[in-house]
Chain A
Amino acid sequence: MQSRLRCYLVPTAFLAVACAATPFINDYVRYVATLAAIWAVLAVSFDVLLGYTGYLSLAHGALFGVGAYTGGLLTARAGWSFWLALPVCGLVAMAVGIVVALLAFRTKGLYFAVLTLGIGLIGFQMFFVAEDWTGGVVGFVGIPSPPPLPFMSLDAAGNNLVIALLLLWVTYLAAGVFVRSPMGAASLAIREDVVLAQALGIRISAARLTAFAFSAFFAGTAGMLFGAISNFVAPESFAVMTTGFQMVVLVVVGGMGTLWGPILGAILLTTLPETLRVASSYSLLAYGVLLLVFMLFAPKGIAGLLKQAWHARRARQAAVAAPAAQPVTEGVR
């Protein structure tokens, strides 16, 4: 019960600290932090799919775009309020995601990745082709910024950051509820051994479809918020090789199947290029190298390294405190 409570309190404490710090940082840091939070929303929700069910989707960059363009259409053209459009964009991306999933889950493993890659490419091209809706190559201009939050007197950059943090907080809590539910347990079972999962009576298709729909929903909301803070979206933001690939990198580098690891991945990989002033043309190269290094030397990502360090420290403390009480087994790895 206590650990269950902690699942809600810890992220809430982080949210409170980050919001309290917002007035004291400059607009540039706020902007970078906002982008990091949006990437973290993508990474956490993508982890539910990649980390928990083990399915690698390359269509999620396009689903992020569906959310962004839907947001533009609803707020700039139809005049909807931001707060109504945000969940609706999630639902639209989720609906598209479910269609994608129904197609893609007919395959598995490499074939699943390749099929979703195809869908991601089609989606990317559609953003160019459907000019009437998306503005085509010129982009969708004039998306209104998120409205100021009540009870907080912040300028636009601060307001954007707090809204992004709120979305991240909601995403993280929802992802936690999902992975602790029987559906989350079923997802893990699918990742580990599909045949055994079936033999135990786990409804494979329901569990993985739910995971896909979940990740698509939050990719859509992240896209909507991204459009609103940028006031502008263009197809380049949703390419497979940038956005779709980057989501994979964030989750792998952060640590698959941990939910909090991908947040670290998003913060690190968004802020590093900014602080190091690396030309953006090199960022894909850097991502590729990072992916390679982590897959080879730390497949459990930053979260895995931190956990390992934590266990090693605990084991050392235990050994010092009670050398006689060591179990016969070889102890923690």
Chain B
Amino acid sequence: MSLMSIRHLSRSFGGVHALRDVSLDVPEGIILGLIGPNGAGKTTLINVISGLIAPSSGNLSFDGRDNGPWPMARAVGYGIARTFQQTRVFMGLTVRENLRIAAEAGHGLRQDVAVDPGLDLTPFYDRVAGELPYGVLRRLGMALALAVGPRLLLLDEPAVGLTADEIAGMGRAIRRANDSGLTIILVEHNVRFLMEVAQHVAVMDRGQLLFQGTPAQCQANQAVIDVYLGKGQADAEH
């Protein structure tokens, strides 16, 4: 049963078609990996789903309710939470205050929220976020999204800029969140990381949905290889 359905979604910025007629079903309880080259429209899709921007056309439905596109406030009300590509946390506040704000904002969405779901933030609770290293801020950004107790979590490049150890930790945290029943859409440039974590992969290119399938199917798909390595170069490089 699909938690969210996207139908014929398009969005252009001036003359640039960031999304062209994208349709996608997100089954409940999966980790859906979303990959594609720069400018493929991944972040635009996340922005539309989370209500940060409105699509030019198309519609969305969440949990059987056929009423998208929706503004951000309603998206959060349904239980759609997100992180941002550029780390976004409350920089002037302590980690504890950050988490308290998120937990109070999400109050009533879900009660069984772990405040620190394997993100190792406890040693930093009384530190001001602005003083913390980048890796910790990435984890805090994810912890904020988790603390509101969402049903669908949109992660926009959670592993970007992290060390190998930190990426492994992030992967564990994502899987743990998924094990607790959370549906996740993961946008990621790090293809190896994404293939390890995601159960289902969607590939975008120039605003269009190119391919959907399992990670194994994706890696074997010629169209995907062409997009990633350029036509005719796949053989030369391997």
Contacts and interface: CB of A to CB of B under 8 A. Distances in A.
A201 B145 CA distance: 10
Contacts of A327: 123
A52 B92 CA distance: 11
A199 B72 contact: yes
B139 interface: no
Nearest to A257: B92
A274 interface: no
A201 B148 contact: yes
A197 B89 CA distance: 9
Contact of B105 (A191, A202, A333): A202
Nearest to A199: B82
Contact of B88 (A182, A196, A202, A203): A196
B50 A199 contact: yes
Given A186-B101, A192-B91, A333 B131 contact: yes
B65 interface: no
Interface residues of A, number: 20
A200 B73 contact: no
Nearest to B89: A196
A322 to B, nearest CB: 17
B48 interface: no
A200 B73 CA distance: 9
A164 interface: no
B166 interface: no
Contact of A185 (B73, B76, B88, B101): B101
A329 B95 CA distance: 15
Contacts of A248: none
Contacts of A185: 97, 100-101, 104-105
A182 B91 contact: no
Given A182-B107, A195-B88, A333-B131, A200 B102 contact: yes
A193 interface: yes
Contact of A201 (B89, B106, B127): B106
Nearest to A330: B131
B131 A200 contact: no
A193 B101 CA distance: 12
A189 interface: yes
Chain A at the B interface: SS class: helix
Interface centre among A188, A189, A199, A329 (most CB of B within 10 A): A199
Given A186-B105, A188-B97, A188-B101, A198 B89 contact: no
Contact of B52 (A199, A202, A203, A329): A199
Given A186-B101, A193-B88, A196-B144, A203 B73 contact: yes
A200 B93 contact: no
A81 B131 CA distance: 53
A189 B105 contact: yes
Interface centre among B52, B101, B131, B144 (most CB of A within 10 A): B101
Contacts of B73: 198, 201, 203
A180 to B, nearest CB: 10
A333 B77 CA distance: 39
Contact of A192 (B77, B92, B107): B92
Contacts of B84: 196, 199
A243 to B, nearest CB: 28
Contact of A182 (B104, B123, B127, B148): B104
Contacts of B100: 185
B76 A201 contact: yes
Contacts of A202: 101, 105
A199 B148 CA distance: 10
A195 B104 CA distance: 17
Contacts of A186: 101, 104-105
Nearest to A201: B76
Interface string A191-215: 1110111111111000000000000
A200 B107 CA distance: 11
Nearest to A181: B104
A200 B50 contact: no
A198 B144 contact: no
Nearest to B131: A333
A333 B128 CA distance: 10
Contacts of B123: 327, 329
Q: Which 7 A-B pairs have the closest CB atoms?
A: A201-B76, A192-B90, A182-B104, A200-B105, A185-B101, A196-B88, A202-B105
7 contacts: A182-B105, A188-B90, A197-B101, A200-B102, A200-B105, A200-B148, A201-B77
Given A192-B93, A196-B89, A199-B76, 20 more contacts: A185-B104, A188-B90, A188-B101, A189-B101, A191-B92, A192-B92, A193-B88, A193-B90, A193-B91, A195-B52, A198-B72, A198-B73, A199-B50, A199-B72, A199-B81, A199-B82, A199-B84, A199-B88, A200-B105, A329-B127
